[in-house]
Amino acid sequence: MKYPLIKTSLPGPEGKKLIQIDQTYVSPSYTRVYPLVVKEAKGVWVHDVDGNVFLDFTAGIAVCATGHCHPEVVQAIRDQAERLLHMSGTDFYYEPQIVLAKKLASLAPGEGVKRTYFGNSGAEAVEAAFKLARYHTRRELNIAFFGAFHGRTMGALSLTASKTIQKKHYYPVVPGITHIPYAYCYRCPYNLCYPQCGLECVRWVEETLFRTTMPPDEVAAIFVEPIQGEGGYIVPPPEFHRELYKIAKKYNILYVADEVQSGMGRTGKMFAMEHYGVAPDILAVAKGIASGMPLGATIASAQIMDWEAGSHASTFGGNPVSCQAALTTIRLLEEGVMANAAAQGDRMINRLKELQKVYECMGDVRGKGLMIGVEFVKDRETKERAGDWRNLIVRRAFERGLLLLGCGDNTIRFCPALTVTEEEVDVCLSIFEKCVREIAR
Ligand SMILES: Cc1ncc(COP(=O)(O)O)c(C=O)c1O
């Protein structure tokens, strides 16, 4: 069995040199939680510039769906790079963008013809969804959720309600957005219990919001993550999206699913909304779609994507190399990688739930497929958030060669490559348990 190998202090001497230069020349707005300086990576194994080897359960923030540098993805990139690097799909036609749009149309839930707008990132995919919702409905108001992360461009940022640091000094943002509580059952914002709650978080939208401050016929869209990502890997109850979608339909409001983190097989289905039986009106994807190449896609029915030529575009969006990487990624997902995500995810959640029985500080274990969160608390009864313990565990894991990331205030997320093996999951869990045991003591 392969294990991480840490042979220097962290960062090592080469890493230290690079970090020093970074600290002078690179934007200080980035949030590095530990000093990992990567040289190369394959599958779930990352090598730093000092020869240390790490087991990566972050996949570059849920991006490298098929693992780092999957040989078939790399080959597709090489082949395409030799043929055509760029031509701008906004002004000309080329095959990879057209073929990918057709493929995405066949994958996206829902009937009828669908069309795709291509951008370069998650924020751009959401930005396009935001503009399209306004354009199509000619309505000005929108609903999003507390805890949501939709990106950092001005429109996407306006929908985001994750951390105040992301908005501080940037007001005024786009007006007309109302944030409402997400279906966070472990910490119900209404202090109720599922299922006795009768889904108060959904009922409230119609019974309070639409009767007091938001005329529903002026609402363009509800923007929602099927499973909240940056907010803490929060899995809503099974009926949540279906019931909210019903309200949206009643008032001709668009249901926009931000699947930037949850999409492209991560939860064991191509799109997480499929777990909830809802076909969103607009679907935003990015991250895992091209295994590490920059690409964002906004998918909607041809009827909704009715904007005219010139109303929205991006020079680099739908770059041919990224499109080929996406086509290979999707083929690999369909050939077994997505099924592996479902199987390894189930196994991992079950193992984490076993650990939860032993360690009081593991307040909640939740997730679908390989989108798994463990929320840390100081006390099971009071559920006091243990953000400091979470941070310590992430740090200790790094020192032992396991790469993890937090999300929310006090949750650790596990979002490895969807190609991860049983043995790699076991190595991750054994290191994770050592770190938790240390904290529990
Ligand atoms: C759900 C969701 N939407 C949008 C984004 C923004 O994506 P990007 O960082 O590629 O702009 C993210 C990034 O974490 C995300 O998780």
Contact indicator for 222, 133 with CB cutoff of 8 Å = no
- How far is it, in rounded angstroms, from Cα 282 to Cα 303? 11
Going 111 to 251 to 195 to 182, the CA torsion angle's sign is positive
- pLDDT tens for 108-126 read 999 999 999 999 999 999 9
- How far is it, in rounded angstroms, from Cα 70 to Cα 89? 26
- How far is it, in rounded angstroms, from Cα 6 to Cα 304? 52
* Ligand 1 centroid, distance to 258 Cα (angstroms): 9
Residue 183 CB partners (closer than 8 Å, separation 6+): 199, 201, 202, 234, 236, 237, 240
pLDDT at residue 191, as a whole number: 97
Which of ligand 1's atoms lies nearest the C-alpha of 148?
1
User: For residue 1, what pLDDT band results from cuts at 50, 70 and 90?
Assistant: confident
229 lines ligand 1 (CB under 6 A): yes
* Dihedrals phi, psi of 62, to nearest 5 degrees: 60, 35
* Ligand 1 centroid, distance to 368 Cα (angstroms): 18
pLDDT at residue 417, as a whole number: 98
Whose structure tokens read 């289905």?
Answer: 269
* Dihedrals phi, psi of 68, to nearest 5 degrees: -65, 130
Contact indicator for 228, 258 with CB cutoff of 8 Å = no
Check residue 234 and report its DSSP letter: B
- pLDDT tens for 392-414 read 999 999 999 999 999 999 999 99
Rg (CA), the chain: 22
- How far is it, in rounded angstroms, from Cα 298 to Cα 358? 43
261 lines ligand 1 (CB under 6 A): yes
Contact indicator for 199, 239 with CB cutoff of 8 Å = yes
Which of ligand 1's atoms lies nearest the C-alpha of 124?
11
- pLDDT tens for 184-224 read 999 999 999 999 999 999 999 999 999 999 999 999 999 99
- pLDDT tens for 50-81 read 999 999 999 999 999 999 999 999 999 999 99
- Joined together, the tokens standing for residue 161 give 């309600």
pLDDT at residue 441, as a whole number: 85
pLDDT at residue 396, as a whole number: 98
Q: Would you identify the CATH topology of the domain 72-332?
A: Aspartate Aminotransferase; domain 2 (3.40.640)
* Ligand 1 centroid, distance to 51 Cα (angstroms): 31
- pLDDT tens for 223-248 read 999 999 999 999 999 999 999 999 99
CB-count exposure of residue 265 (10 Å: 0-12, 13-18, 19+): buried
Q: What is the largest CA-CA distance in the chain?
A: 62
- How far is it, in rounded angstroms, from Cα 180 to Cα 192? 16
Query: Which one of 149, 163, 182, 285 would you pick to mutate in the ligand 1 pocket, going by the greatest count of ligand atoms within 8 A of its CB?
Result: 149
DSSP 263-330: TTTTTSSSSGGGGGT---SEEEE-GGGGBTB--EEEEEETTT--PPTTSS--SSTT-HHHHHHHHHHH
DSSP 99-128: HHHHHHHHHSSSSS-EEEEEESSHHHHHHH
Whose structure tokens read 């009071």?
Answer: 382
Work out the mean pLDDT of the chain and round it to a whole number: 98
Give me the residue spans of the domains in the chain. Answer: 72-332
